[in-house]
Amino acid sequence: MTIIRKVDQVHPDPAVIKQAAAIIQNGGTVVFPTETVYGLGADATTDSSVLNIYKAKGRPADNPLIVHFSSICMMREYVQVSEDIEAVAGRIWPGPVTIIFQSTERISGFARASLRTVGCRVPANPVALALIDSAGVPIAAPSANLSTKPSIVSSAEAIEELDGRVDMILDAGDTFFGIESTVLKSSRKGYEILRPGAIGVEDLEPILGKIIVSEAARAASSVDKPLTPGMKYRHYSPGKTLYRIENREAFIATVLRDRRKDMAVICSDEVAAILGIECISLGSEDNLYEIARNLFPAFRKLDASAYRNGIIHGFPESGIGLAIMNRIRKASLPLL
């Protein structure tokens, strides 16, 4: 039976946090909010605890997990934090940026998918930070959705999808960004984005220097041995088939000419106004953060609709637009 407790995201009740931390300490699983999406968390140092995450999600065991810490000081106890990150840690964390580090054996091999490295971050959410602090251990936490499904951005979605699968769900409303963290690894040429997320290249380069955008980050290619979530497997996908036409003008022309009645149209407010038909709205193109926040809920609306499949258009790949297009490409099939 899943325990569901309401909690305020800014001022979480210490008693609720203590109850959730005890579940983590005893090897259980807790669904909790971060600033990005909801996470499905367990003690990152214990194999049996981490395996409970894979079981609850139905997640492939070679897909590594991101490990969450309450501070850079805590992180140093478990991974080899590089000097360059030490120098700028306060400008990165707490925040939606994950960095790949060499791990010690203190982090479960199952959390690392048997790799020597692990993705780490300090989340910018009072509930998440209080939970990690109270538990006294780093928390491994992928997004709290069933494997391949759209990430969960509200507690209502978490309860609907995971009630009965986990030990506790912290009911805290909506997350802020609605899209996962940006994942980076260090290379000789600079930092490389493995998965684009809530923080864009333009925001990171003043802090870390030149950022390399890989083909995997654009979702133009896959890898056989992923260092981080989102690099190998089909991700973020609605249950129904979603098609994409990345060029906005081609999308509009195609929908106006060939739109089938069994196909839901997922688009911006501006495109909806041009089409003049009922659409699943993503928000305004003037605010790509709004588009990002509405993306996964739009995929879930498609699944809940009477339509057999859906179609979506592309967005500029600057800022958070790179993450938006990564998620759209991972979730859809090209039509043009």
Same domain for 200 and 278, yes or no, is no
Within 83-188, residue ranges assigned H as helices are: 83-92, 126-135, 155-162
- pLDDT score at 189: 86
Same domain for 82 and 177, yes or no, is yes
Same domain for 173 and 317, yes or no, is no
- pLDDT score at 39: 98
Reported as a single tens digit per residue, the pLDDT across 214-234 is: 888 887 655 555 565 555 555
Chain mean pLDDT for the chain: 93
Same domain for 177 and 131, yes or no, is yes
Q: Do the domain assignments include residue 236?
A: no
Q: 212-246 burial string, b = 16+ CB within 10 Å, else e?
A: eebebbebeeeeeebbbbbbbbebbbbebebbbbb
Q: Do the domain assignments include residue 218?
A: no
Q: Do the domain assignments include residue 232?
A: no
Q: How many domains does the chain have?
A: 2
Ranking 44-48, 92-96, 216-220 by mean pLDDT, the lowest is 216-220
Residue 317 backbone dihedrals phi, psi, to 5 degrees: -95, 35
- pTM (two decimals): 0.92
Residue 143 is part of a domain; what is its CATH number? 3.90.870.10
Same domain for 116 and 200, yes or no, is yes
Same domain for 92 and 155, yes or no, is yes
Could you tell me the residue range of the domain that residue 57 belongs to? 3-213
Summarize the confidence of residues 44-58 as an average pLDDT.
Answer: 96
Token pair 């190998």 in the structure block, residue: 232
pLDDT exceeds cutoff 60 at 112:
yes
Reported as a single tens digit per residue, the pLDDT across 237-270 is: 899 999 999 999 999 999 999 877 889 999 999 9
Residue 247 is part of a domain; what is its CATH number? 3.40.50.11030
Same domain for 197 and 304, yes or no, is no
CB distance 325 to 312 below 8 Å: no
Same domain for 58 and 150, yes or no, is yes
Same domain for 48 and 189, yes or no, is yes
